[in-house]
Amino acid sequence: MQLRFVGCGDAFGSGGRNNTCFHLTGERTNLLIDCGASSLPALKRLDIARNDIELILITHFHGDHFAGLPFFLLDAQFSRRCRPLVIAGPLGIETKLPELMEALFENSSKTKQKFELSLVTLAPEQTASFGAVSVTPYPVVHGESGGPFLGYRIEAEGRVIAYSADTEWTETLIPLGHRADLFIAEAYTYEKAVKNHLSLAALGAHLSEIQPKRLVLTHMSDDMLSRLPTLTYTAAHDGMSIEL
């Protein structure tokens, strides 16, 4: 299996990085984790076949994780996609997506797609299966607006990929990431406490409990990016690929 960081930036594009979007593929797996506003051009730049993507998992409804969907869906329509697509996310996705479509492209939510589109609500700590992929959402803490907020533990083809999403430290990150083959964790700041976000210091204090087999940091602010040469952990960059 392979995970590719289509975008690993924060909401402000710190370091010129694209908004959050990860592409996970295997023999029977082809999915996106989040689809931030800049995702479509980033996918095209990496020559990723969008029409082969079967599942999109959304962690929450902030634009840097969610606002790429209208562009993705319109591109699918105009490229004559025919295979089904499932978009799964927190409670509210069935209303939030049409509202976003209308805000960006009037009447677009009323256009019938040439392909089957399914919207699925994911409930915290209840595993959902999508073909060869099993997804267990965990509630995380990221403020009052734009939620509910979910991190994901994904099991596919004998591998476990965990993603913290945007969150301050919360105990649910321990079962979410426990001994995952790959744990993708927000490290918004180095040690400064920022409400609703995770610092590397806070994460590091609990890594002995999480025990991930591999850790990659994402969603980094300028504070973190300025420290990349001195980090002892792997930091993501746009286009980076990881073999699992």
Share of the chain above pLDDT 90, in %: 98
As a whole number of angstroms, the distance between CA 29 and CA 226 comes to 35
Report residue 69's pLDDT band, with 50, 70 and 90 as the boundaries: very high
Report residue 244's pLDDT band, with 50, 70 and 90 as the boundaries: very high
Report residue 33's pLDDT band, with 50, 70 and 90 as the boundaries: very high
As a whole number of angstroms, the distance between CA 51 and CA 73 comes to 10
Q: What's the pLDDT score for residue 112?
A: 84
Please tell me the pTM assigned to this model. Answer: 0.97
As a whole number of angstroms, the distance between CA 21 and CA 206 comes to 25
- Give the domain ranges of the chain: 2-234
Q: What's the pLDDT score for residue 67?
A: 98
Fold classification of 2-234 (topology level): Metallo-beta-lactamase; Chain A (3.60.15)
43 in helix, strand or coil?
A: helix
Task: Over range 44-48, report the average pLDDT.
Answer: 98
Q: What's the pLDDT score for residue 216?
A: 98
Other Cβ atoms closer than 10 A to 137: 27
Residues 6+ apart with CB under 8 A from 228: 235
Q: What's the pLDDT score for residue 110?
A: 86
Q: Is the pLDDT of residue 225 over 90?
A: yes
pLDDT digits (tens, 9 = 90+) for 95-151: 999 999 999 999 998 888 889 999 999 999 999 999 999 999 999 999 999 999 999
As a whole number of angstroms, the distance between CA 153 and CA 13 comes to 26
Residues 6+ apart with CB under 8 A from 144: none
Q: What's the pLDDT score for residue 111?
A: 84
Q: How far is CA 206 from CA 142, 173, 202, 213, 215, in A?
A: 19, 9, 7, 14, 13
pLDDT digits (tens, 9 = 90+) for 150-195: 999 999 999 999 999 999 999 999 999 999 999 999 999 999 999 9
As a whole number of angstroms, the distance between CA 21 and CA 37 comes to 9
> Average pLDDT, whole number, for the chain?
97
Share of the chain above pLDDT 70, in %: 100
pLDDT digits (tens, 9 = 90+) for 74-87: 999 999 999 999 99
As a whole number of angstroms, the distance between CA 200 and CA 78 comes to 42
Among candidate residues 157, 158, 156, the one with its CA nearest the CA of residue 136: 156
